[in-house]
Amino acid sequence: MGRLPFIAGNWKMNKTVEEAIDLVKGLKVHLKGIEDVEVAIAPPFTALYPVAQELKGSSIHLASQNLFWEGKGAFTGEISPAMLKEINCRYAIIGHSERRQYFGETDETANRRIKAAFNHGLKVIFCIGETLQEREGGIAFSVIERQLEGGLKELGEKAVEEMVVAYEPVWAIGTGKTATPEQAEEVHQFIRQKLERLYSKRISEGIRIQYGGSVTPENIKGLMVQANIDGALVGGASLNAESFSRIVRFKEM
């Protein structure tokens, strides 16, 4: 069976509760009847609960933009996996490059978060990707390899089985510079081969690998026709119901 395409919207630090509800209402209209593509949205923490309420009965899944690995306690400013589970979050985005770049996230902390997510029944969208300097320095593949090995350390097949990997070249995020479909496909293929070496063919063939980095309604189709690109993690273009829905409906183009 083929891999179900998966389009997720990362709203980052955007949308008040009121704006979030408006956007969700628009998405429900635009995405009515969509069954052959899985859709998730990751609002900021303050909007998660109201958005969860608004999504009741809809096929759009809820994702968090991060989580902390401890269950509870004196960790000011953090959110636990159980808190996210309680409000019907299905996915957690882990290791986003903005977390790595601005908030000290490392392969090791991403690994701790991934383990905590799985232990609480949350699925993970695990983000990896090289910077421009790393690409130009010819070390993009070794960076990807290190991020995969570090992020997935001590995780068994059961844990990675339902994981989603998001390949997001840092130089393409929010810059309007998308990787060409061929550039993205080359890395996606590399990621799949690495997953086969780390786990098995069954795992590597089942796992969905999203591309992220300035995805728009205009460039999604070219990306999605690549054999190893199974979806997209969308930032900027997910903040508008019409543009995000056009991305989700890429098959109709």
Could you say whether residue 214 binds ligand PEP (CB under 6 A)?
A: yes
Stretch touching ligand PEP by CB under 6 A, among 15-23, 153-161, 167-175, 218-226: 167-175
In this complex, which beta carbon is closest to ligand PEP, that of residue 5 or of residue 236? 236
**Nearest distance in Å: CB 173, ligand PEP:** 4
* Residues carrying an active site annotation: 96, 168
In this complex, which beta carbon is closest to ligand PEP, that of residue 83 or of residue 170? 170
Stretch touching ligand PEP by CB under 6 A, among 26-34, 148-156, 183-191, 234-242: 234-242
Please give the structure tokens belonging to residue 207.
Answer: 């796992």
Phi, psi of 126 (to 5 degrees): -95, 115
Could you say whether residue 173 binds ligand PEP (CB under 6 A)?
A: yes
**Nearest distance in Å: CB 62, ligand PEP:** 17
Distance CA 37, CA 116 (A): 27
Nearest-CB residue to ligand PEP? 235
Q: Which amino acid is at 249?
A: R
Q: Which residue from 122, 234, 241, 248 is in contact with ligand PEP, where contact means CB under 6 A?
A: 234
Residues 8 and 42: beta-carbon distance below 8 Å: yes
Residues 244 and 27: beta-carbon distance below 8 Å: yes
Could you say whether residue 212 binds ligand PEP (CB under 6 A)?
A: yes
Distance CA 231, CA 195 (A): 18
Query: How many CA atoms are closer than 13 Å to the CA of 207, on its beta-carbon side?
Result: 30
CA-closest candidate to residue 236, choices 165, 177, 182: 177
Could you say whether residue 110 binds ligand PEP (CB under 6 A)?
A: no
